[in-house]
Amino acid sequence: MNTTTIGVDLAKSVLQVSLASPSGRVIERKRLSRPQFQKFLAQQPAADIVLEACATAHYWARTARDHGHVPRLLHAQYVRPYVRRNKTDSADADALLRAHRDPDLKSVPVKSVEQQALQGLHRIRSQWQDTRRQRICLARALLAEFGVHLPTGAAGIVPRLRLTLDAAPPLLSVSLGIVITEITELEAKLGQIDRELRRLAKDSPLAQRLLTIPGVGVITATALIGSVPDIHAFQRARSFAAWLGLTPREYSSGQSRFLGRISKRGDGYLRMLLTHGARSALLLAHRQASKGDDRLTRLQRWVLEVERRTNHNKATIALANKMARIIWCVWTKEEDYKA
């Protein structure tokens, strides 16, 4: 039986540790370096380790689990109200102990090494995309100053840039050529990551099931697998959609109930992917509707009706919400989506 609960305030180099008795009283406080904390986990008898779900938290949770402890990750937003008076490292560690005693506070599941590696792959891809976009905008803006106007979009932009490079002054052409080379290299790197993600999706039965859902592609499927440690932590489909920030923000009191815009909580990257997937699925529904209603699925008829009642953007978010609920059902029931 665990005789102690340990609250750990994580940091880059120095970690603050608070040890509590079974009654909840803090009996000891320590300030440890990373090697000292590693040794502390190895020597300490089995205990409940409470950490904020922040940087390096999943690594330390896995390390604590390897030493026989029971790690629990708490969202930093919900731990903050338990900090009393001034904010210090010891106060944060004590707040974790108080938050741990709250039975209604749900913990964050610990990610595996494979999930964090997959999530890291998506983070690299996203940053390379941003860098590529910046370089394209830079080259297009510089050439526009000398009368060269290129069409919008990134498709086929490198050949067009090379053809118009002579229009730039000699003083600028060399550096602009380096920018174009950077764009080419970034496109090659992005293609390499995309091939790796396609290979991972092909080898994953879960990813293949998720790909049967309209609007869910390889990028979205692999991002979901890397970002959702345990789908069964969500008791219902609406809870999963709320975790993604796709449900309305509520402000109610008494007999008055007000539902506003979506909350935009949770992982913004996943929400962005689902929103773009919903836009693609809605566009496909429009194309099929133009060929006859007999080609439409029940989901497509529903989203087109929502669009007629409201507008295109609201229908897109409504479809993204519906997609999140379908993802939960397909994932938990381990069945392919049937249109």
Q: Where are the domains of the chain?
A: 5-100, 114-203, 218-333
Q: Residue 84: its pLDDT value, please? A: 86
Whether 6 shows a pLDDT value over 70: the answer reads yes
> Alpha helix (H) ranges present in the chain?
34-43, 57-66, 76-79, 89-100, 113-144, 157-163, 170-203, 205-210, 218-227, 237-243, 268-289, 298-309, 312-333
Sign of the dihedral through C-alpha 145, 150, 156, 161: negative
Q: Residue 1: its pLDDT value, please? A: 39
Rounded Cα–Cα distance for residues 230 and 156 (Å) = 40
2 vs 14 pLDDT, higher one: 14
Span 152-186, pLDDT tens digits: 888 888 888 888 888 888 888 899 999 999 999 99
> What's the predicted TM-score (pTM) here?
0.87
Instruction: Report in angstroms the alpha-carbon separations of 163 from 152, 154, 211.
Output: 16, 15, 39
Q: Residue 226: its pLDDT value, please? A: 93
Contact between residue 95 and residue 9 where contact means Cβ atoms under 8 Å apart? no
Q: Can you tell me which residue has the tokens 């962005």?
A: 272
Span 277-296, pLDDT tens digits: 999 999 999 988 888 767 78
What's the mean pLDDT in 241-270? 88
Beta-strand relationship, 48-52 and 5-9 = parallel
Please give the CATH number for the structural domain made up of 5-100. Answer: 3.30.420.140
What's the mean pLDDT in 221-237? 92
Can you say how many angstroms the Cα of residue 82 is from the centroid of all Cα atoms in its chain?
A: 26
3-class secondary structure, 54:
coil
* 96, 98, 103, 106 alpha-carbon torsion, rounded to 10°: -20
What one-character DSSP code corresponds to residue 295? G
CA neighbor of 59 nearest in space, from 5, 113, 114, 8: 113
Tokens linked to 145: 């100053």
What's the mean pLDDT in 53-66? 93
Rounded Cα–Cα distance for residues 23 and 94 (Å) = 14
Beta-strand relationship, 14-20 and 5-9 = antiparallel
Helices 218-227 and 268-289 pack at an angle, to 10 degrees, of 150
Beta-strand relationship, 48-52 and 70-74 = parallel
Sign of the dihedral through C-alpha 166, 171, 174, 177: negative
Confidence band (pLDDT; 50, 70, 90) for 3?
low
What's the mean pLDDT in 72-79? 91
